[in-house]
Amino acid sequence: IANAVAAFELYGGPCITIDFGTATSFGAISAKGEFLGGAICPGLKLAADALTERTAKLPRFELVKPESVIGRNTVANMQASIVYGYIGQIKYLVNRMKREMGVEGIKVIATGGLAVLVAGESSVIDVMDGLLTLKGLRIIYEKNAGKA
């Protein structure tokens, strides 16, 4: 909710927020500031950890963007699938949400610790705001304290 509040207050509506944390959470906000709903999927690190912890022989790997989507070894293959796979997932979900929202001018705001890993590669993200959640908590506090 804090992300939705901050996104609407700072960037206006309609908008879509994407929070790249333990889970990757999407939120759709109307032009009036109403939270319409969203989608939640495993975060990049959670997916990478599951890949190595739940398989017999795949090694742990650093979660970085490889140079190519076609890996030349097991680690590069896993990095490519997680990073570039999530970039594709983000593009699909955002485009589908925009279609379902049925309005023009929807801004997409990304936040969270792992946003920098994919935001530069994603053509659907308009704004990177690493402090969106904290800004939202401040806005909520100020509204409740009668300061806004």
Q: What is the pLDDT of residues 85-113, one digit of tens each?
A: 999 999 999 999 999 999 999 999 999 98
Q: Confirm if 76 and 66 have CB atoms less than 8 A apart.
A: yes
Residue 148 confidence class, pLDDT cut points 50, 70, 90:
low
Token pair in block for residue 115:
């946003």
Q: What is the pLDDT of residue 146?
A: 79
**How would residue 121 be classed by pLDDT, with cut points 50, 70 and 90?**
confident
pLDDT at 25: 96
Tell whether omega for the bond before 14 is within 30 degrees of 0, i.e. cis: yes
Residues 6+ apart with CB under 8 A from 143: none
Please state, rounded to an integer, the average pLDDT across all residues of the chain: 93
In the predicted structure, residue 118 carries a pLDDT above the cut 90:
no
Q: What digits encode the pLDDT tens for the residues 60-74?
A: 999 999 999 999 999
Q: pLDDT at position 57, please? A: 86
